[in-house]
Amino acid sequence: MMTMKVSRKEVEHVAFLSRLALSEREAEEFTRQFNQIFKQFEKLNELDTSQVEPTSHVLQMQNVLRQDSVRSSLPIDEVLANAPDREDGYFSVPRIME
């Protein structure tokens, strides 16, 4: 039997933050998978890393920068090509109340 680190409620919260609708079965399944993943990390945690610098990136590159120059943008029609809805050159979304 596995100890439950992540509750189903937490999985549902994370799904809500990402605006994902989970079915009963999916919520069940993802809770199981999350806990499995956590268990793997616990295994990794057994390693003593006190003498190792944290890695911020797998590549050893640094300062990949560009000059501040303007390049042409997309035509508005292409910008809006994948929009579910549009209005006068704008993306149209369900009303947001502030």
Binding interface with another protein (CB under 8 A): 13-14, 17-19, 56-59, 61-74, 76, 79-80, 85, 87-98
The least distance separating another protein from the CB of residue 95, rounded to whole angstroms, comes to: 5
CB nearer to another protein: pick between 19 and 25:
19
CB nearer to another protein: pick between 3 and 82:
82
CB nearer to another protein: pick between 2 and 98:
98
The least distance separating another protein from the CB of residue 50, rounded to whole angstroms, comes to: 19
- H or E stretch covering 87: strand 86-87
31-36 LR contacts (CB < 8 Å, sep 24+): 31/4, 31/6, 31/7, 34/5, 34/6, 34/10, 35/2, 35/4, 35/5, 35/6, 36/2
Residues in the chain: 98
The least distance separating another protein from the CB of residue 77, rounded to whole angstroms, comes to: 10
